[in-house]
């Protein structure tokens, strides 16, 4: 049983909170085994992120690109499992406490991050999801123990209180995405070590990311979902939302050029 009061206070102060042992080992194994089976022959058309197609074969991410929106693939092994966990009642309960309003699901993803894989430089999720007013929320479920040795998550506590920062160019030798949001003055990026089954919840304006998996042989797999308030006035057109009962909810598409004035197509692709 989680203590939502403590978690909600930590979340409000820092922009993130960790729920230890949120999912049981057998639940984590169910997710891990489904995704490993799905990925056994390499990238899956329309499910694996197509941006990775151009990678050299020697790049560990060429065989193990992240999978995007697996919950939409009801005819594949990962589809029903992703839908089940994305819409899990325990997540709804936690997010409702954190957000103080009804959450709806907008995205699911699975990151394999095998040994040697690059990370994803520091960024803010709401740069992409463009929820307004307010922000989006992430549920990051550790499928393996995740720490600095295998490219675990880093967060910048308190950075959820700042506006969306226009990204700079990332060093693509350490990051598979090209956007980088520098750590604001007087703040620092800190590691969040997680055990398999722990969940990191974080605010869509929190600066966060990860660095390469420098281990010899450890995966750093994660099942990641994004949620938005049901009452949001706007959301990027690239995301479709579902209630926790699986009912489609329509949120008007975000308008204008985005926080940084970039063309919508460039900033809103699922990240």
Ligand X SMILES: O=C(O)CCC(=O)C(=O)O
Which residues contact ligand X (rule: CB under 6 A)?
111, 119-120, 125, 138, 208-210, 222, 224
Structure-block tokens of residue 214 = 């420098």
Select 175 or 252, whichever has its Cβ closest to ligand X: 175
Select 73 or 208, whichever has its Cβ closest to ligand X: 208
Select 135 or 250, whichever has its Cβ closest to ligand X: 135
Select 178 or 252, whichever has its Cβ closest to ligand X: 178
- Report the SS3 class of residue 239: coil
Select 18 or 138, whichever has its Cβ closest to ligand X: 138
Burial of 154 (0-12, 13-18, 19+ CB in 10 A): buried
Closest approach of ligand X to the CB of residue 46, in Å:
20
* Euclidean distance between CA atoms 31 and 27, whole angstroms: 6
The number of residues in the chain equals 271
Furthest C-alpha separation in the chain = 49
Select 166 or 224, whichever has its Cβ closest to ligand X: 224
Among all residues, whose Cβ is closest to ligand X? 210
Peptide bond into 67 cis (omega under 30): no
Closest approach of ligand X to the CB of residue 3, in Å:
25
Closest approach of ligand X to the CB of residue 210, in Å:
3
Closest approach of ligand X to the CB of residue 124, in Å:
9
The span from the first CA to the last CA of the chain, in angstroms, equals 32
Select 104 or 222, whichever has its Cβ closest to ligand X: 222
Structure-block tokens of residue 3 = 């203590």
Closest approach of ligand X to the CB of residue 120, in Å:
4
* Euclidean distance between CA atoms 123 and 137, whole angstroms: 14
Residue ranges of alpha helices (H) inside 15-138 are 25-38, 60-63, 78-86, 89-99, 126-129
Please give the order of strands across the beta sheet that includes 153-155.
120-123, 208-210, 153-155, 190-192
Closest approach of ligand X to the CB of residue 268, in Å:
14
Quick check: 195 and 142 in contact, CB under 8 A?
yes
Closest approach of ligand X to the CB of residue 227, in Å:
12
């Amino acid at each position: 049983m989680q203590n939502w009061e403590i978690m909600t206070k930590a979340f409000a102060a820092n922009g993130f909170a960790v729920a230890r042992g949120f999912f049981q080992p057998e639940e984590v194994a169910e997710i891990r085994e489904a995704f490993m089976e799905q990925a056994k022959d390499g990238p899956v058309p329309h499910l694996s992120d197509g941006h990775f197609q151009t990678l050299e074969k020697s790049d560990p991410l060429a065989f193990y690109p992240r999978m995007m929106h697996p919950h939409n693939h009801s005819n594949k092994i990962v589809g029903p499992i992703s839908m089940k966990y994305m819409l899990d009642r325990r997540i709804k309960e936690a997010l409702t406490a954190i957000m103080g309003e009804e959450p709806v699901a907008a995205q699911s993803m699975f990151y394999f991050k095998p040994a040697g894989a690059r990370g994803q430089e520091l960024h803010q999720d709401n740069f992409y999801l463009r929820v307004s007013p307010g922000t989006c929320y992430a549920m990051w479920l550790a499928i393996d123990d995740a720490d600095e040795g295998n490219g675990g998550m880093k967060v910048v506590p308190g950075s959820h209180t700042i506006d969306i920062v226009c990204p700079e160019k990332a060093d693509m030798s350490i990051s598979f995405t090209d956007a980088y949001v520098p750590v604001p003055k007087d703040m620092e990026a800190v590691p969040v070590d997680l055990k398999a089954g722990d969940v990191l919840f974080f605010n869509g304006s929190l600066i966060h990311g990860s660095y390469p998996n420098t281990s010899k042989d450890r995966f750093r797999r994660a099942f990641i979902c994004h949620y938005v308030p049901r009452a949001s006035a706007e959301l990027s057109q690239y995301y479709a939302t579902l209630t926790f009962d699986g009912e489609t909810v329509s949120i008007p598409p975000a308008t204008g050029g985005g926080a940084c004035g970039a063309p919508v197509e460039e900033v809103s692709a699922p990240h």
